[in-house]
Amino acid sequence: MDNRPIGVFDSGLGGLTVVRELLARLPGEDLVYFGDTGRVPYGTHSPETIARYAAQDSRFLQNHGVKFIVAACGTVSTTAPQVLAELPVPAMGVLEPAADAALAATKNGRIGVLGTSATVRSGAFDTYLKSKQPVEVFSQACPLFVSLVESGWIERDNEATVAVARRYLQPLREQGVDTVILGCTHFPLLTPVLSDILGEDVTLINSGAACAARCEELLREQDALCDRDREGVCQFYVSDRPQGFSAVADMFLGRRVEQDIHRVNLEDMDRV
């Protein structure tokens, strides 16, 4: 038994989809969330910059005494996995859980991957999937999705969002994929829009849900789950205006954020 908190970080708000799933699965666990809202999105930066940000984010969480770190960021998971591997506490990203879920779901062996530009450039999903099964992988960068989601433009009748999604998804439709990995934790908020365009025969893999399930499994294996007879506490930290976070965090979590949102000075982060 280990009552220390689980640490979760992301470039912005998308990682809250992992927090949402963790709260549902492990309601007794304390959580510390850091959203690097002052430097979002990570997907447009170089691998070296992404690795530096990931290392800073991870050390911030370590300073809060976490027992486990979840990089709830597809860009970090695919572009800077070495940062997670070298941490002194157990850590994981979203790549392997989401990819494994896709391999279990596909029937025709044709898998699509939606991600940030950095995720697609890394080729990490393609490499991992093909190392496990002889599948065909079709990746599509969706750089505008993060901004659309963080702006709250997620309704299935939002003309701008639907138009952008149709443009991004057309190549996957033409390839006849039957499973699509939402390789960024922002993207599950667009599920209704994506499902309408891809059709009900295409399975969407929620990377946040897959990641939370794997986190629970690993903590159980390590005998590191918390005392069941307790109610978990969440702490939220951001690197930009807390008011902006509060305005849309409810949408990601599916519930009101009652806790105070704490701001971390980016200048201090640069010295971490």
Query: Which positions are annotated as active-site residues?
Result: 73, 184
In order of 57, 121, 129, 172, 249, the CA distances from 77 in angstroms are: 13, 13, 14, 23, 22
**Whether 137 contacts 214, CB under 8 Å:** no
Q: How many residues does the chain have?
A: 272
**Whether 241 contacts 266, CB under 8 Å:** no
In DSSP notation, 251-268 reads HHHTS---SPEEE--HHH
b/e for 154-174, b at 16 or more Cβ within 10 A?
Answer: beeebeebbebbeebbeebee
Of the candidates 109, 129, 113, which has an alpha carbon nearest to the alpha carbon of residue 121?
113
CB-based contacts of 105, cutoff 8 Å, min separation 6? 179, 203, 205
**Whether 145 contacts 114, CB under 8 Å:** yes
**Whether 169 contacts 195, CB under 8 Å:** no
Q: How far apart are CA 177 and CA 138, in angstroms?
A: 8
